[in-house]
Chain A
Amino acid sequence: MTELVATTPGLLPLPGWAKEELSDLKGHQKSDLIDGTEGADVTEAYERVRAEEIEWQTEAGLDRVVEGQGRWDDNIAHPLAVADAVDTRGIVRYYDNNNFYREPVVVDELAPTGDAADELTAAAGVLDAESSPLQAVLPGPYSLSDLATDEHYGDEAAFVEAVAEFLTGEVEQFPDVETLFLLEPSLVENPPEDGLDERASEAIDHVAAATDADVVCHTCWGAVPEKAYAHLMDADLDAIGFDFVSDHETNLYNVTEYGTTDDIALGLVDGQNTRVESVGTVRDRIEWVNEQIPSQEFETTYLTTNTELFYLPVNRAREKLDVLARAAAGEEEVTA
């Protein structure tokens, strides 16, 4: 029987007090956002954010706990926004959402910053790793390069490889983590063309190889096109994550037609709607997916929201954490 693991793709909403306090401390303009050089008072506020967000997850009973990525003002483009070789420029749209981030423009050779590693180390310090294993979250190399502009490397393939090398350098500095979620929404939203699809898969494989943790490449907002999906299957991943909220049919088609990894991540709870799914609904959906894939029994099934959680107000985001944890725990009780 598959082990159900309740988790999230990270990027939780800031607690209400932090939205106000940090906006007062930092300001509202694009030059006020996190660039990796914040002062003591801002750092201290984020420490409280981290502790609170970790508490939300442990209280809910999630099986993997994320740092929360409260500092990621630029959403998943954050790792570049704090890198030296990067200028952050105008505000640009974050996929097809009413959200924006600062366009990171790579103007020199990228070097890892240790920024995500520092956050994870801090998270590990306030977490009981025995009962709540830590999960790292990073953008995948394809999505990060897609969200950025290259003014240094000169060609698309070289740029994806450089971003993969940069992310590999970040992963190598991580403390011990149980799982790494690589978020790759661009594989769906702006899929790689012929030739680049193979490079994208190699880049993901390159980053995944940098850690002993289980690596989940998570996608959302639809399904990866067939050919890019077939290439993605060549990467050495423990699991691929699917958005079954926005498009269960095409995702299921990919899985049944091209197979999938030994483990699977199921985005079954909507990270962009305040309507809170019942535990029963989520269990029914897990059962439905299993019925549709009779040929495969997954060792681990990660149960997650389809998207990051920052799109939601805090109350609903926390209720969704509860639903995920209870759905995963409930299933274990039934089969025990």
Chain B
Amino acid sequence: MSDGWPEAGDSGRGSQTPTTAADGGADVREQFRPDDHPTDHFLLTTVVGSYPKPKWLNRSEDLVGDEEYDFDEEHIQEAHDDAARLITEEHERAGLDVVCDGEMRRNEMVEYFAHRIDGYEFNGPVKVWGHNYFDKPSVVDEVSYGEQWLVEEFEFTSGVAARPVKVPITGPYTLANWSFNEHYEDEETLAYELADLVNEEIEALVDAGARYIQIDEPALATTPDDHAIVGECLERIVDGVSASGANGGSLGTDGVPADVRLGLHVCYGDYSRIYPEVLDFPVHEFDLELANGDYEQVPVFQDPEFTKDLALGVVDAHTAEVEPVEVIKENIKKGFEIVPPERLTISPDCGLKLLPREIAYGKMENMVRAAREIERELDAGEVDVGFAATPADD
């Protein structure tokens, strides 16, 4: 763990934060390369997490608790298992290297966790935009770990998946910021209390075998001035988890394996307001939404040099047309303007759950095709963009 919080522009960034094999940190990426991967180059393909639920699952969720139907918790559990199995398989069919269950058991990214944390209460939906609402919870008492959050979800998914499984988990800053805080003196205090709970959950996930964990902090985009709070939250989260080694701490403390890959997903904001400060965060990878803004924000990450792995959004999560492979290939190449191929992960901009299911599938499938084609072109030395360009032979 690093002491104190370095200011933007402090010297030593990069040299003190080995995060990838490329700059001397533990290699937490190569483990996800499939044994039969056909090319030397490997662009890790994955998703952010959420995926459209099959209509029958939404209908089933409506039926629970309705006295007219004989449909109880046990039945919905079975429906969730079936959906998780189905969507995990759908991710594998699309060819992704790292999959998840599309968050079939989760209703919403804050609500799901708030229902499992003691200290929260629900008062009813509030508007997000138009007629889209969110049952924004209130923290009315000290927060503490209630029932398990994601370990059962992970165990089920990894049990049915042939590919490695990524676990997306809502970060403590977003859990705090997207709740009403009635109890704590300020949101920062609440965020740190929640970070300790997220730490507990991540340790349990690691014990269960999880090796790729993505912390979702979309709220950072709404309040970018709070990046130091998010950083402190992350320090608390990785405390005792191997990824604390990513920021210069000791690897493998508490007997936790050193090969856990930690990512941070931030979307829909002005990244220049959090960069380069986020480079000090103790994670291996940043997962960013850049396709939506047509890569206008790429220059933000070029100066100073990006020292983490980049999970690049290459398909838009809010347009209902499947991007052609050729378009996605050009998007992937944008990533080489920030990192070399061995540090680039290929991903959609954000969770795909608001799209029609066939569109979501089409985007994943084309995304994988595009990545595999670029890998072949990289092997052949045909990509001449940024960090992927082959040095001239003169």
Contact = CB atoms under 8 A, between A and B. Distances in A.
Contacts, number: 71
Contact of B123 (A32, A98, A316): A316
A311 B126 CA distance: 6
B223 A274 contact: no
A13 interface: yes
Interface residues of A, number: 34
Interface in B210-250: 219, 222-223
A96 B224 CA distance: 9
Contacts of A28: 130-132
B126 A13 contact: yes
Given A19-B133, A93-B268, A98-B219, A273 B181 contact: yes
Nearest to B134: A98
Contact of A27 (B126, B131, B182, B223): B131
A301 to B, nearest CB: 27
A32 B131 CA distance: 9
B56 interface: no
Contacts of B13: none
A100 B182 contact: no
Interface in B94-134: 123-134
B123 A100 contact: no
B32 interface: no
Nearest to B320: A29
Given A93-B268, A97-B222, A98-B222, A274 B130 contact: no
B376 interface: no
A275 B130 contact: no
Given A16-B124, A274-B180, A313-B124, A100 B131 contact: no
Contacts of B136: 313
A98 B128 contact: yes
Given A96-B222, A97-B222, A274 B138 contact: yes
B43 to A, nearest CB: 29
B246 to A, nearest CB: 29
Interface residues of B, number: 25
Contacts of A97: 222
A253 to B, nearest CB: 21
B306 interface: no
Nearest to A270: B180
A73 interface: yes
A89 interface: no
Contacts of A315: 123-124
A33 interface: yes
Contacts of A275: 138, 180-182
Nearest to A27: B131
Interface string B166-196: 0000000000011011100000000000000
Interface string A82-126: 000000000101101111110000000000000000000000000
A312 interface: yes
A290 interface: no
Contacts of B219: 98
Contacts of A310: 126-127
A33 B124 contact: no
**Most chain B CB neighbours (cut-off 10 Å) among A13, A22, A98:** A98
**Most chain A CB neighbours (cut-off 10 Å) among B124, B138, B177, B268:** B124
Interface of B: 123-134, 136, 138, 177-178, 180-182, 219, 222-223, 268-269, 318
6 contacts: A19-B133, A33-B131, A93-B222, A96-B223, A98-B222, A313-B136
Given A27-B131, A311-B126, 18 more contacts: A13-B126, A16-B124, A19-B133, A28-B132, A30-B130, A73-B130, A93-B269, A94-B129, A96-B222, A97-B222, A98-B134, A99-B127, A275-B180, A311-B127, A313-B136, A315-B123, A315-B124, A316-B123
